[in-house]
């Protein structure tokens, strides 16, 4: 059967594919250390699991309103008020099957064919694909390590054309852990106002910010203009260790939320009813497990950064949030290893896997061919072992 051009051009998600590959190799008995996982390794907190069990026992197993239950949308509004100082009504919230689905709904709803979306790079792998699926064109704005991978307003403005429809802000970011402060966001919001652009603010890592003095600021909270041109994307996957439950949400101006809801009502209907009950329990329940996880990630961040700093041939900007570090492996590129040419970070990753059983995500799908992404959503012991293997690989294959 012929696959149409639109579908044929979609690439599989490399983050998901490599995470699956690492699990498969491990299941086959290999002693794999995987830095791929874009998901917390903790169990979903007990009170959340209990809420799901009760939902099942109480027969909460039918269709819900397509955009999510009233109680969950109200809880999301209360969360947005409490954490972000934002006033939304339930009609402005669409609950979907993960934040990824919310992003799809958002881009499908606002992009016409050929519209451009300014996408600060390095960017999360799925942005470019989702924008393309929705008929748009991602326009990467390349930042650099020396500037901490931050896109400033000037850089963003230079990427704007007559076709630009939206700017993505992802703070804290995947894969570099960049956190934008209020002033930086205000300058970007001014640009959005000047060119009448939507702001897609992906805040899924909001609860994972490590350093004192840094806080999460939602771009929508800056002023009324920013609020009216923002679609906030968030969810429970990362904050509450609920990646498999598939609950994300968007908060948007009323007409945009209604259009996204209409789209969802035909595409998927409501997200899983039991998972919605669990997400409700997450949002209204005890926040202590979230803070415990943040502290664990902070300590892991320190462990992995120390190991990277001690390893010759690689460097990285210290992530301020999320649970990834984007590592420059440019000095490892060139020459060959075991007869294999090393032309980019994907080749470095392949050699690391074959020699040391370490799985990492090559940077090309994040916009940078000479970088790899290491997730530190694994135990400190695994981080230590994995970094020892990377050190060993470098000392055996290179002379620094
Ligand atoms: N945004 C970013 C930046 C992410 O890293 C992820 C990770 N999967 C998502 C959105 C989507 O999260 P989910 O669909 O699991 O809610
Ligand atoms: N967002 C995570 C990651 O970047 C999970 C996998 C995915 O959805 O891409 O690894």
- For residue 81, the tally of other CB atoms under 10 A from its CB is 12
Q: Give 100 Cα–ligand 1 centroid separation in angstroms.
A: 5
Q: Which CATH architecture has domain 62-284?
A: 3-Layer(aba) Sandwich (3.40)
* Ligand 2 contact via 173 beta carbon (within 6 Å): no
Per-residue pLDDT of the chain (400 residues; tens, 9 = 90+): 999 988 999 989 988 888 888 889 999 998 999 999 899 999 999 999 999 999 999 999 999 999 999 999 999 999 999 999 999 999 999 999 999 999 999 999 999 999 999 999 999 999 999 999 999 999 999 999 999 999 999 999 999 999 999 999 999 999 999 999 999 999 999 999 999 999 999 999 999 999 989 999 999 999 999 999 999 999 999 999 999 999 999 999 999 999 999 999 999 999 999 999 999 999 999 999 999 999 999 999 999 999 999 999 999 999 999 999 999 999 999 989 999 999 999 999 999 999 999 999 999 999 999 999 999 999 999 999 999 999 999 999 999 8
Strands 324-328 and 315-316: antiparallel
Give the DSSP per-residue string, 302-363.
HHHHHHHHHSTT-EEPPPSBTTEEEEE-GGG-SSEETTEE--SHHHHHHHHHHHH-EE-EEG
Cβ count within 10 A of residue 109: 23
Q: How far is CA 106 from the centre of its chain?
A: 15
> Ligand 1: distance of its center to the CA of 131 in Å?
15
What separation in Å is there between the alpha carbon of 396 and the centre of ligand 1?
Answer: 36
Q: Ligand 1 centroid to 366 CA: how many Å?
A: 14
The CATH class, in words, for 5-43+289-397 is: alpha beta
Domain ranges of the chain: 5-43+289-397, 62-284
Candidate from 17, 34, 102, 125 with most ligand 2 atoms within 8 A of CB, to mutate = 125
Kindly report the pTM of this predicted structure: 0.97
């Amino acid at each position: 059967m012929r696959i149409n051009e639109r579908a044929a051009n979609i690439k599989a998600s490399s983050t998901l594919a490599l995470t699956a590959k690492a699990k498969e190799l491990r299941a086959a008995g290999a002693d794999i250390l995987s830095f791929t996982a874009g998901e917390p390794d903790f169990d979903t907190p007990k009170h959340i699991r209990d809420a799901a069990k009760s939902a099942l026992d109480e027969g909460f197993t039918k269709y819900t309103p397509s955009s999510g239950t009233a109680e969950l949308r109200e809880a999301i509004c209360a969360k947005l008020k409490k954490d972000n100082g934002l006033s939304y009504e339930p009609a402005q919230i669409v609950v979907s099957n993960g934040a990824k689905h919310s992003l799809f709904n958002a881009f499908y709803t606002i992009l016409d064919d050929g519209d451009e979306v300014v996408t600060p790079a390095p960017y999360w792998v799925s942005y470019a694909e989702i924008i393309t699926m929705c008929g748009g064109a991602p326009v990467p704005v390349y930042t650099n390590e020396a500037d901490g991978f931050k896109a400033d307003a000037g850089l963003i403005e230079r990427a704007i054309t007559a076709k630009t429809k939206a700017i993505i802000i992802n703070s804290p970011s995947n894969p570099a852990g960049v956190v934008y402060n209020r002033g930086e966001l205000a300058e970007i919001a001014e640009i959005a106002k000047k060119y009448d652009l939507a702001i897609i603010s992906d805040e899924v890592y909001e609860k994972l910010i490590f350093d004192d003095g840094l806080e999460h600021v939602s771009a929508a909270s800056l002023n009324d203009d920013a609020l009216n041109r923002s679609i906030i994307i968030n969810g429970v996957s990362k904050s509450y260790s609920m990646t498999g439950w598939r609950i994300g949400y968007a908060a948007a101006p009323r007409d945009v939320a209604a259009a996204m809801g209409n789209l969802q009502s035909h595409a998927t209907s409501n997200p899983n009813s039991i998972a919605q009950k669990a997400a409700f329990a997450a949002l209204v329940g005890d926040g202590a497990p979230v803070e415990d996880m943040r502290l664990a990630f902070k300590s892991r961040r320190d462990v992995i950064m120390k190991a990277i700093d001690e390893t010759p041939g690689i460097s990285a900007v210290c992530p301020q949030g999320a649970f990834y570090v984007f590592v420059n492996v440019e000095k490892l590129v060139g020459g060959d290893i075991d007869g294999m040419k090393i032309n980019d970070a994907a080749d470095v990753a392949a050699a690391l896997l074959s020699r040391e059983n370490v799985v990492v995500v090559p940077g090309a799908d994040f916009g940078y061919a000479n970088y790899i992404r290491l997730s530190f959503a694994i135990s400190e012991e695994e981080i230590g072992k994995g970094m020892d293997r990377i050190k060993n690989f470098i000392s055996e294959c290179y002379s620094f």
